[in-house]
Amino acid sequence: MILQADPGRSYFVMKEKIDSAVKRVLESAWYVLGKENSAFEKSFAQYVGSNYCLGVANGTDAVEIILRALNIGNGDMVATVGNTAVATVAAIERTGAQVRFADIEPHKFTMSASSLNDLLAKEKNIKAVIVVHLFGCPAEMKEICEAAAKYNIPVIEDCAQAHGAEYNGRKCGTIGIAGSFSFYPTKNLGAFGDGGAVVTDNRELFEKMTALRQYGWKKRYISEFTGINSRLDEMQAAVLSVKLPYLDENNQKRRSIAAQYRSALKDLSDIELPVEPETAFHVYHQFVLRVKNNRREALADCLKKNDILTAIHYPLAIPRQPGYQEIPLTVSLTETFETNQEILSLPMYPELTEREIRTITDAIRDFL
């Protein structure tokens, strides 16, 4: 069976190091906000090229903490896209702010700067923009940041699927005012449970986020303001410290797999392959096709019969999900909705072999 994602395989490559790290945590009897967390924060900040990193419980909390540190809450609006994981929108609404959606670029699946310009011109109460580097592809940050700068609005990067991705030579997460990361097990850098982080170069913002992750404490047991409980535990931090040095190597393997997919499928007229702009270093958290002529479900069924599991990320755009249909649509989301009907994610994880890739691409070619 070929799986959509298989984070378990890579464990055996680094088993001895992980076992040692877990043992070290257990013997220390210190499980929250200790040496392992501090060491990982330092290493991850250095990796992305940021001054500060803060470990938190998950990627959703990471987005919320950034927003709250920017004093965004009741009565405010935040712009993002409607084809992201629902966690992005859930984090916005947990602050009390309202969501407004911009459309996407059809071939990159990321925010359209043109649509954002239109949205910001119409909605005067937008206080932040959250850009999602979806599937591992960096959004066009230059144009997006320029659009936001006209209104003096900060740009936040949701990098939950973009560990190690780059835009014009800069790591995603370091271009806007702050970046959020998820370390859910299936991510390019995944823990053995939930985990997340925020990165920033802004010291004042970092200090406020540090307090926010633990009840608003600057001094223990004294809340300077209301905060939450969102801490990256020592076990997950230790595992992430072991896995971080393998991230670039595994991203290169993903890029190699993507190149093999492209080579084998480039001449098929009923599909569109994902675009990798010159500005971007794509890390292929997912390899996502657009399947034309209403053939997506039939192709997915065909592959499943060949023991090849695909997925749809995501099966329903957020504005059309039952829990979010009351959010007003200020600008057209034509590309978001059209793309949503055509996308199909092929298996993508570093351990895929050339033989497995040929099996997948041969089955697609036979069907199309």
- As a residue count, the chain comes to 368
CA angle 288, 66, 36 (to 5 degrees): 85
Task: Name the DSSP letter for residue 227.
Answer: -
In the chain, which segments carry CATH 3.90.1150.10? Answer: 246-367
Closest listed residue to residue 62, CA positions, set 235, 194, 240: 194
In the chain, which segments carry CATH 3.40.640.10? Answer: 9-102+109-245
Q: Quickly name the fold that domain 246-367 has.
A: Aspartate Aminotransferase, domain 1 (3.90.1150)
CA dist 331 and 148 (Å) reads: 16
CA angle 24, 25, 26 (to 5 degrees): 95
* Rounded alpha-carbon distances, angstroms, from residue 282 to 57, 278, 365: 26, 10, 25
pLDDT at 9: 54
* Rounded alpha-carbon distances, angstroms, from residue 337 to 83, 93, 109, 344: 8, 22, 11, 14
A 10 A CB-CB count for 133 gives 31
* Rounded alpha-carbon distances, angstroms, from residue 259 to 79, 191, 282, 348, 365: 33, 27, 11, 12, 16
- Tokens describing residue 126: 């937008």
Closest listed residue to residue 254, CA positions, set 164, 343, 141: 164
- φ/ψ of 130, rounded to 5, equals -110, 115
| Residues in CB range of 313: below 8 A, 6 or more apart | 85, 135, 286, 288, 343, 345
CA dist 217 and 309 (Å) reads: 46
> Which positions of the chain have pLDDT values less than 50?
1, 3-8
Q: The domain 9-102+109-245: what is its CATH number?
A: 3.40.640.10
Helices (H) and strands (E) in the chain, counts: 12, 15
**Beta strands at 98-102 and 126-132: parallel, antiparallel or unpaired:** unpaired
pLDDT at 3: 46
The widest CA-to-CA distance across the chain, in whole angstroms, is 65
pLDDT at 303: 97
pLDDT at 15: 86
Give the three-state DSSP class for 192: coil
Global confidence as pTM = 0.95
Please measure the distance between the N-terminal and C-terminal CA atoms of the chain and give it in whole angstroms: 22
pLDDT at 5: 42
Compute the chain's Rg from CA coordinates. 20
pLDDT at 13: 67
pLDDT at 6: 46
Residue type, 47: Y
pLDDT at 8: 47
Closest listed residue to residue 216, CA positions, set 231, 204, 227: 227
Residue type, 96: G
Closest listed residue to residue 83, CA positions, set 368, 364, 274, 339: 339
